Amino acid sequence: MDAACFKECDLSPAKTRPPGLIVVFLAIGLLLSTGCSTLVSTATDRFAGALSAGILNQDDLDTVRDGMPAYLLLVDGFIIENPQNSALLLAGAELYSSYSGAFTDDPERARRLADRAREYGIRALCSESDVLCEAVDSPHEEWVAALDAADEDNLAALYGFAASWATWIELNSGDWDAIADIPKVEAAMRRVIAIDPDFRSGWPQLYLGVLTTQLPPAFGGKPEVGREFFDTALAKSKGQNLMVHVLYAQQYARLVFNQALHDQLLQDAIASDVRAEDLTLINVLAQQRARRLLSESKDFF
């Protein structure tokens, strides 16, 4: 029932923060999803929906930074009351991922919050699929085999879990346990787009762009595969998601040492209007990052 609700409600997209070694994704698709949850009343639906639109379309980062902790507690409360509700668990995973990845300066605190995000993500996945649930901690090949069991009904749970996992890896990038999980997250995101290439307007492709541009060609990396994902993400987001431009520059253009492309992508992001439905906040963050990357361009190249 929750899964059906997810489909109907067209969850708002996850958001990203530019990554360091691996990938940091801001996922603020939480609030509409809470609006979908079966437990909440119509009044709560309206409240959550309004709050969601408020956050996603906010252009003042400090307001979001200050306001989000209250919502973390609110979602915790809902989850305590409804421990098996996957929509709420996914909302929790996404909210905690967003906050830990983009608005938490203290690394230890960020890791603590990302732990909770991943825990909610696993619980959401487990509430929807026993096969996937049991395979999460299995060796890579078993996880890949289990992914065949995923279908449209648990697409949102798989994607939400993989997104919270990606943030968790980024925040634990000094930990080999986390680094060893990168191929599993990539496999999960590939499964998402195999089931529905249009899911979330290019967000899964953006994750894949980042995940496939971690290694230089000398180590067996294939940057051109990443480039294709970034191009697809640009097309599917109709160029409105400026974080695609920024991560394209940061991950791909830097990896292949293409300064012209790097600077062009960042200048495009800076020159674009941040206002776009459910993308305003991420676009403000993207422009902030674009300015920094552009200022480093001369030294990097």
Residue 217 interacts with another protein (CB under 8 A): yes or no: yes
| Binding test (CB under 8 A) with another protein, winner from 169, 182, 282, 293 | 182
Cβ proximity to another protein, 81 vs 257, nearer residue = 257
| Binding test (CB under 8 A) with another protein, winner from 41, 43, 106, 218 | 218
Tell me how crowded residue 300 is: count the other CB atoms within 10 A of its CB. Answer: 11
Instruction: Please tell me the distance from the alpha carbon of residue 222 to that of residue 256, in angstroms, as a whole number.
Output: 10
Cβ proximity to another protein, 8 vs 220, nearer residue = 220
Cβ proximity to another protein, 56 vs 169, nearer residue = 169
Q: Considering the complex, what minimum distance in angstroms separates the CB of residue 161 from another protein?
A: 19
Cβ proximity to another protein, 39 vs 179, nearer residue = 179
| Binding test (CB under 8 A) with another protein, winner from 77, 107, 174, 197 | 174
| Binding test (CB under 8 A) with another protein, winner from 175, 197, 238, 295 | 175
Cβ proximity to another protein, 151 vs 296, nearer residue = 296
Residue 149 interacts with another protein (CB under 8 A): yes or no: no
Residue 83 interacts with another protein (CB under 8 A): yes or no: no
> Binding to another protein (CB under 8 A): which residues in 225-284?
254-257
Residues listed for the chain: 301
Tell how far CA 280 is from the center of its chain.
16
> Binding to another protein (CB under 8 A): which residues in 13-72?
20-21
Instruction: Please tell me the distance from the alpha carbon of residue 180 to that of residue 56, in angstroms, as a whole number.
Output: 32
Cβ proximity to another protein, 81 vs 175, nearer residue = 175
Residues in contact with another protein by CB under 8 A are 20-21, 138-142, 174-177, 179-180, 182-183, 214-220, 254-257, 299-300
